[in-house]
Copies of this chain bind each other. A is one copy, B any other.
Amino acid sequence: MSRERLYLYDTTLRDGAQTPGVDFSVEDKIQIAGLIERLGIDYVEGGWPGANPTDTEFFAEKRTARARFAAFGMTKRAGRSLSNDPGLATVLDSAADTACLVAKTWDFHVTVALGTTLEENLEAIAESVEAVAASGKEPMLDCEHFFDGYKANRDYALACARAAYDAGARWVVLCDTNGGTLPEEVAAIVADVAQVVPGDRLGIHAHDDTGNAVANSLAAVRAGARQIQGTLNGLGERCGNANLVSLIPTLKLKPAYAEAFETGVDDDALAHLTPISRTFDEILNRAPARQAPYVGEAAFATKAGLHASAILKDPTTYEHVAPETVGNRRRVLVSDQAGRSNLLAELDRLGIQVDRDDPGVGRLLDEVKRREADGWAYEAADASFDLLARRTLGKVPEFFRVESFRVLVERRYNAVGELVTVSEATVKITVDGEPLMSVGEGNGPVNALDQALRKDLGRFQRFIDDLELADYKVRILNGGTGATTRVLIESRDAAGNRWSTVGVSPNIVDASFQALVDSVTWKLLKSDAAPARAPASALAG
């Protein structure tokens, strides 16, 4: 049976940017567009060129390799000629492949909010779509408030959809802008629209205001639509958009969809869904939703008891899909058997040779568990895990030993009456038993410490000259300023290596220092730096 093509359209960078508390820089957008492409999503909507400086800069060049790069904009204003609409011109002049224009399709909004006639609005839709096509871009129309509009005036809503189609729109997207439409309504309305615009030209744009965004998207597909708009991890205004991370596995793994439809997401991309979802949360600097469908840490977790023993005998008894297919893993909270085999696989990946039955493996497993309970997270800190494993198995030379550090942050009026904040750090280490003391200044305590630590490592100094800090992240693990702090540091060197380290402490300076020391130690370990002494701990404490 030949399968129909179903298209996925990601609007994380546009509608997702409407999420309260979310604010993307151009750099963020580049990184996120990469994640979306890696998933094999067909369209990446990058934002609204002309609406703000970030989006304008982002659209100065094409930002996707495989996916279509889409720009959002508005249809031309009523009562204004096409040539006299600078907003639309900016969209047409952008580096996008596709222009997705939004138009009102609810009669009340057209007459009251736009203050124009129903007829003029239809003309504006047609002319705008034609202008996109003429510019060489692929034209799309987002029908704002389509479902509410349809309920208020079916004929007019249909006329808008049809006008876009007749003018050559590749996609006519039915938007549930307020998010209040229920699945049975979506099913009935999409089926009706499909009488006027062919289903393979229809898209669905759902919001989660009733908790039905995923179901609404699926209902629209069953009713004939062939494009789904959504976002990574369900980001979006109010309660968010349809979550593509929840939808993709259903489309790929559930027979009713997998047998009927083909998407751009291949099995390998699906197997990376969980890490991609988590990386996106890292970029947003927020904790991943533990109970998220398919990708949540708890999505395949079973508490001790009846289910757990059943699951160990036959996972299909309590798992609707295999966790590996979406890059997630089973967690049976009663047993550490899974832990041991995971650990051995991880050691193997890092090139650490160890016998299966080495008692060090059990010690390492206990140490990892103890540390994770204290807030350490090794999933995103490869280099720290590498060091911890080698130390537990007795294999890291002590390049240097930290004796003490001190950081001073002072805010005061300077000689000319300006308020200034200065940070200064002192670090005392020993290399081959010889004391070395350095002082550094920075624009904050961690920066000052970093300057001081890397100023003089004696005979190892030359091995870290090209070390640079690429990223620094802080997460507070529980409430209050007295809470535990986890710091993740990403480092890089001139050869293009990148590695991540972690530190945990109630004290943010301490946590940062641990991650800095791990970063330097790992760099030395991977360089030709000769061991100063027999295997021992490189970290004083």
Contact = CB atoms under 8 A, between A and B. Distances in A.
A481 interface: yes
A478 interface: yes
Given A215-B183, A442-B481, A406 B409 contact: yes
A411 B421 contact: no
B237 A444 contact: no
Interface in A373-414: 377, 379-380, 402-413
B211 A243 contact: yes
A222 B208 CA distance: 20
Contacts of A490: 479
Interface string A487-515: 00110000000000000011111101100
A450 interface: yes
Max chain B C-beta neighbours (<10 A), residue from A236, A331, A406: A406
Interface stretch (A16-24, A194-202, A266-274): A16-24
A243 B208 CA distance: 13
A238 B301 contact: yes
A419 interface: yes
A409 B471 contact: no
Given A182-B256, A215-B215, A445-B445, A336 B409 contact: no
A404 B207 CA distance: 49
Contacts of A218: 182-184, 212
A209 interface: yes
A250 B541 contact: no
Interface in A466-488: 468-483, 485
A337 B314 CA distance: 52
A475 B474 CA distance: 7
Interface in A435-460: 442-447, 450
Interface string A274-304: 0000000000010001111110111111111
Contacts of A66: none
Max chain B C-beta neighbours (<10 A), residue from A18, A180, A481: A481
Interface of A: 18-21, 23, 25, 27, 51-52, 109, 112-113, 145, 177-185, 208-212, 214-215, 218-219, 222, 234, 236-240, 243, 246-247, 249-250, 254, 256, 285, 289-294, 296-304, 307, 310, 313-314, 317-321, 331, 333, 335-337, 372, 377, 379-380, 402-413, 419, 421, 423, 442-447, 450, 468-483, 485, 489-490, 505-510, 512-513, 540-541
Given A20-B297, A409-B445, A442-B482, 5 more contacts: A177-B318, A183-B218, A285-B475, A406-B409, A470-B479
- Counting from the closest, the 9 A-B pairs by CB-CB distance are A180-B320, A215-B215, A419-B541, A211-B246, A404-B412, A444-B507, A443-B506, A211-B214, A474-B474
